[in-house]
Amino acid sequence: MHPEAKVTKQVSPFFAFFIVTVMQVGVGIFTLPRTMIVDAGHDGWIAIVFSAVLVSIIIRIIYAMLNKGDTIITIQNKVFGKTLGSFISLFWVFYYSLFVLITLVAYVEILNVWIFPEVSLWVLYLICMLLAYNYTTSGFRAIIGGSLLAVLFVLPFLFFSHLPQGQLHFGSLFPIFDHSLHEMWLSTKTMTFQFLGFEILLMAYPFIKQAPRSHKWAQIGLVFSMIIYLIAFILPVIYFHERHLLTIIWPTLTLWKMEYIGMSIWLLVLLPNMAFGLWSASRVVKQTFNLSQRHSLRGVTLVIFGCALLFTTRIEIQSLSAFTNRLGFYTIFIYIPILFLLQALIIKRRRL
Amino acid sequence: MLTTGDLMFKKHVYKKLNLKKGKTLEDLIQACQKSFDFVSYQATEKAPFHLHYIKSLVDEKQIDSHISSYTKNPELPTLIDLEQSIPIEGTKIIQKIEEIEQSLLSGHVIIQVTKHDNEVLAVPVQQKEQRSVDIPENEFTVIGPKEAFIESLDVNLNLIRKRLPVPELVIKEFIVGSISKSRVAVLHMDGITNTQLVQTLTERINEVDYDEIVDSSQITQLISDNPNSYFPQLLETERPERVASALVEGKVVFTMEGSPQAMIGPTNLLEFFSSPDDHYMMWPLSMFFRIIRLLAVLFSVLATSVYIAVTTYHHEVIPDVLLNTMVASRLEVPYPPIIEVILLELTVELLREAGARLPSRIGQTIGIVGGIVIGTAVVEASLASSVLLILIGLTALSSFTTPIYQMGNTIRILRFPFIIFAQWFGFFGMAICLAIHLLHLIKLTSLGYPYLSPLYPFRVRDFRDEILKLPIQKLENRPEVLRSQKKKRFISKYRKHPPKDIEE
């Protein structure tokens, strides 16, 4: 149905690492310690590890599924038929766009609060969207290049943290596991939001050379972002008191020595992140409705920009992220496994 | 089947061509006689030969000593006799008017038997005016060879050939420019260089359509992948040994008659910050200097914009200890940091431009006048803060560490967008500017090869010579990104050390 992605547009399997890392370590890292401490307290790191294990299983399932199909769109069309499949594809356009939206809104909120309280939000939205649009039109390989540079040069900035000698209380981490299983589960659910983003693979799969081999790299990317999250969680927990930490909206920034430079240059991490989202959303439109990707990209960008204007207060942003969290959780842990089972069933029946 | 219309059209074309072909030797001579330096005479009244040449192109001493004596000799009646007896290599008998024209205008003496004869003998007696091979001025190194290219293509090729005395070094010649007829030579190593790369370059040079080309940098502008970029996409060098090592690495090179540099491609961003010096020093030293150079470039581009961002938006970033000094130095400056910075940056650019245009001795004086007198005066009149003056001085200094002149210019320009963006949005503005430039660099290619390699596409093995500088024994592979035909340069053998007493 669709011509295979050309070899010149493909990237080596190794780059799956950068896709996963850049998509996962997004803007969420700034709020992570607070959101994790709400339910599981100082045991949040267990929830981080546990949630990473769950996501790792899902990545395995996604690869098993994609190895038999090309993208999520072709799989859905096979499983549900053309009409229903196309209809469900619309959901993916919404899903990918929603992730771009939440990244954009959350990042601009930080900029607004920390550096530019007097600048109108729409100016910042416009700048970010224009840049992300430019990244996307440059093609998949350019976005990958951007994410590679971001991981190599921007993520190390995280390590320039305050490490006040003598004020770190490692005792805060103990006793280990003194929260109930229910609390842990709630925390794990919150945490999955941070690990979301790897669903880009559902669309990017045909653009990876020898794609099955990239599975290993996707898992390594997951481990890498888990380590970054663990560091980002444990440092504030051993520095602040738990109740104090609950009142800080962006603990990572508060603890960071280079908060101003860091949060500005974080743009370089978020641009490939948003560009991947835009790219996937417009790609879904292209594959389903045979529209040119440039046109659909313009449409998606405009809609996201328009929606971003609606979110101005902290509460609105929080409810948006809660909604995205829930939606992402159910999509990944309910819909994807079901789709996988259905696909397996259909393939089996065809063989019989 | 041809229709009548086609036939008519063809006839018309033939007529036109015939008209052009109708030009005879006489017409040519007539056209040349308009110039005063065209000489045309009969050898003697007895001998039949007529000699034509352009005085300013030929070496008249050679005519006197090697040609005149034979043309005046009545025992040699034909051109063939003459050709055999004249003791100059490369004589030829030609008939085609285009060839005659070309040889006349490139410094041959044309010898005709009678005035109406179309067959002539062309004797090459070009006068070659050239300066001697000199010390490189733009890419000076303390150690290593000190020869630089000059304006003669043949001398330049000789400088390269004698460093690579193997038949695999292939040199192809092209004529570029409809009026200037410049000779361009394309060099590559057979069996090493990727054939597709050679093809790309030759195709692009063949496609060049421009009337007058005086310098190879003009060809570079015409063939570069993105003509609107301000990053140089081919590496310009005046050092023959740099060309030789690029050729052996598997790159292609072109150079032009009349321009004292060669162009190396494909290149990448980091290559512009490596100096030939790096290869002549012990590796820990050269690695250190290379890293210093890269840091200097970063500093040179970002320092003044950071100053603007900090003083305009992010006062919190200044350490408490430094705050007093900063406030004290800016206390009496009457305008915002952006004006202060642009004023001083433009002054530095002014000094540089003036220094480049003036003869070198006066240039030095200007440097001292500008740097010391104006600088101190500006601070004393509190028109700029002393902290900024130090920063500006350092940025100018560090931009001079770039070994390649073109890239130095790029870095000069690159500061200004960062300054403007820093004024607009502080650190965030600088991040925007950085994002735009990174995207541009990711997309940029040099002869179709990625400009940002070995960073992207990520080739860790290429780091050995491009970013780091490992010992020469470790540089056994050619850069992966070039996809050359032979990957290995040599097989490295590790010397065995005699066992130490502790191992016996």
Nearest-CB residue to A149 (from B314, B428, B455): B455
State the burial class of residue A348 (Cβ atoms within 10 Å of its Cβ: 0-12, 13-18, 19+): exposed
Q: Would you say residue B187 has pLDDT above 70?
A: yes
Tell me the average pLDDT across A177-187: 85
Angle separating helix axes B405-443 and B337-357, nearest 10 degrees: 130
- B407-442 pLDDT tens trace: 999 998 999 999 999 999 999 999 999 999 999 999
The verdict on B100 and B165 lying in the same domain is no
- Does residue B141 lie within any of the structural domains? no
The verdict on B301 and B436 lying in the same domain is yes
The verdict on B252 and B303 lying in the same domain is no
The verdict on B331 and B445 lying in the same domain is yes
Distance between CA atoms of B243 and A1, rounded to whole angstroms? 50
- CB within 8 Å of B136: residues ≥ 6 apart: B146, B147, B148, B238, B239
DSSP assignment of B153-207 equals HHHHHHHHHTTS-STTEEEEEEEE-TTT-EEEEEEEETTTS-HHHHHHHHHHHHH
The verdict on B293 and B258 lying in the same domain is no
pLDDT attached to residue B234 = 93
- Does residue B473 lie within any of the structural domains? no
**Best to test chain A binding among B226, B308, B311, B427 (most A CBs inside 10 Å):** B427
The verdict on B307 and B194 lying in the same domain is no
Q: Do B434 and A265 touch (CB under 8 A)?
A: yes
**Range with the lowest mean pLDDT among A113-122, A143-152, B3-12?**
B3-12
State the virtual CA torsion across B112, B118, B123, B126 in degrees, nearest 10: 100
pLDDT attached to residue B22 = 62
- B146-182 pLDDT tens trace: 999 999 999 999 999 999 999 999 999 999 988 888 8
**Could you tell me which chain B residue has the CA closest to the CA of A257?**
B317
Q: Do A135 and B439 touch (CB under 8 A)?
A: yes
Chain A to chain B, count of Cβ pairs less than 8 Å apart? 64
Distance between CA atoms of B82 and B76, rounded to whole angstroms? 6
Distance between CA atoms of B465 and B478, rounded to whole angstroms? 9
pLDDT attached to residue B239 = 92
Residue ending a domain, choose from B267, B294, B322: B267
Distance between CA atoms of B217 and B225, rounded to whole angstroms? 14
State the virtual CA torsion across A215, A216, A221, A224 in degrees, nearest 10: 150
State the virtual CA torsion across A217, A222, A226, A227 in degrees, nearest 10: 10
The verdict on B110 and B161 lying in the same domain is no
Q: Would you say residue A320 has pLDDT above 50?
A: yes
Q: Do B428 and A264 touch (CB under 8 A)?
A: yes
B434/A contact by beta carbon, under 8 A: yes
- A214-223 pLDDT tens trace: 999 999 999 9
- Does residue B84 lie within any of the structural domains? yes
Distance between CA atoms of B30 and B25, rounded to whole angstroms? 8
- CB within 8 Å of B170: residues ≥ 6 apart: B187, B188, B189, B190
- B17 pLDDT tier (thresholds 50, 70, 90): very low
CA-based nearest distance B427→chain A, Å: 6
Preceding amide of B499 cis, omega within 30: no
Q: Would you say residue B11 has pLDDT above 70?
A: no
pLDDT attached to residue B21 = 53
Q: Do residues B52 and B38 lie in contact, with contact meaning Cβ atoms separated by under 8 Å?
A: yes
- Does residue B411 lie within any of the structural domains? yes
Between B500 and B253, residue with greater pLDDT: B253
The verdict on B173 and B101 lying in the same domain is no
Tell me the average pLDDT across A76-93: 88
Q: Do B431 and A265 touch (CB under 8 A)?
A: yes
CA-based nearest distance A85→chain B, Å: 36
3-class DSSP assignment, residue B313:
coil
- Does residue B76 lie within any of the structural domains? yes
Residue ending a domain, choose from B428, B450, B472: B450
Q: Do residues B394 and B345 lie in contact, with contact meaning Cβ atoms separated by under 8 Å?
A: no
Distance between CA atoms of A140 and A200, rounded to whole angstroms? 12
Q: Do B434 and A268 touch (CB under 8 A)?
A: yes
Q: Do B442 and A145 touch (CB under 8 A)?
A: yes
**Best to test chain B binding among A118, A134, A264 (most B CBs inside 10 Å):** A264
Cβ atoms within 10 Å, residue B121: 23
Tell me the average pLDDT across B193-210: 92
B456/A contact by beta carbon, under 8 A: yes
B424/A contact by beta carbon, under 8 A: no
State the virtual CA torsion across B374, B380, B384, B390 in degrees, nearest 10: 70
The rounded Cα A53 to chain-centroid distance in angstroms is 16
- Does residue B458 lie within any of the structural domains? no
Indicate the number of domains in chain B: 3
The per-residue pLDDT of chain B, averaged, comes to 85
Q: DSSP class of residue B494? A: P
A149/B contact by beta carbon, under 8 A: yes
Percent of chain B whose pLDDT exceeds 90 = 32
Tell me the average pLDDT across A231-239: 86
Q: Do residues B318 and A260 lie in contact, with contact meaning Cβ atoms separated by under 8 Å?
A: no
- A281-299 pLDDT tens trace: 999 999 888 888 899 999 9
Q: Would you say residue B23 has pLDDT above 80?
A: no
The verdict on B386 and B437 lying in the same domain is yes
| CATH numbers and ranges of domains, chain A | 11-346 (1.20.1740.10)
- CB within 8 Å of B379: residues ≥ 6 apart: B385, B386, B389
Q: Would you say residue B388 has pLDDT above 50?
A: yes
The rounded Cα B413 to chain-centroid distance in angstroms is 20
The verdict on B104 and B228 lying in the same domain is no
CA-based nearest distance B92→chain A, Å: 51
Nearest-CB residue to A260 (from B317, B436, B439): B317
pLDDT attached to residue A40 = 81
Q: Do residues A24 and A195 lie in contact, with contact meaning Cβ atoms separated by under 8 Å?
A: yes
- B92 pLDDT tier (thresholds 50, 70, 90): confident
Distance between CA atoms of B267 and B264, rounded to whole angstroms? 7
Nearest-CB residue to A146 (from B316, B439, B457): B439
Alpha carbon distance, N-terminus to C-terminus of chain A = 25
A268/B contact by beta carbon, under 8 A: yes
- Does residue B119 lie within any of the structural domains? yes
CA-based nearest distance A315→chain B, Å: 25
Distance between CA atoms of B343 and A86, rounded to whole angstroms? 60
- A37-48 pLDDT tens trace: 888 888 888 899
Give the per-residue SS3 of A282-335.
Answer: HHHHHHHHCCCHHHHHHHHHHHHHHHHHHCCCHHHHHHHHHHHHHHHHHHHHHH
ipTM: 0.92
Distance between CA atoms of A135 and B238, rounded to whole angstroms? 37
Distance between CA atoms of B109 and B40, rounded to whole angstroms? 10
Nearest-CB residue to A131 (from B425, B426, B432): B432
The verdict on B206 and B293 lying in the same domain is no
Residue ending a domain, choose from B419, B450, B481: B450
**Best to test chain A binding among B308, B439, B441 (most A CBs inside 10 Å):** B439
Whole-number Cα distances in Å, B266 to B206, B222, B252, B454: 18, 15, 7, 13
Q: Is the dihedral of CA B134, B136, B137, B140 positive or negative?
A: negative
Task: List the domain range (segments joined by +) for residue B90.
Answer: 24-124
pLDDT attached to residue B63 = 83
**Range with the lowest mean pLDDT among A49-58, A72-81, A98-107, B305-314?**
A72-81
B285/A contact by beta carbon, under 8 A: no
Residue B500, both tokens: 């130490």
CA-based nearest distance A261→chain B, Å: 6
- Does residue B436 lie within any of the structural domains? yes
The verdict on B76 and B50 lying in the same domain is yes
Q: How many CA atoms lie within 13 A of B183 on its CB side?
A: 13
Tell me the average pLDDT across B57-82: 81
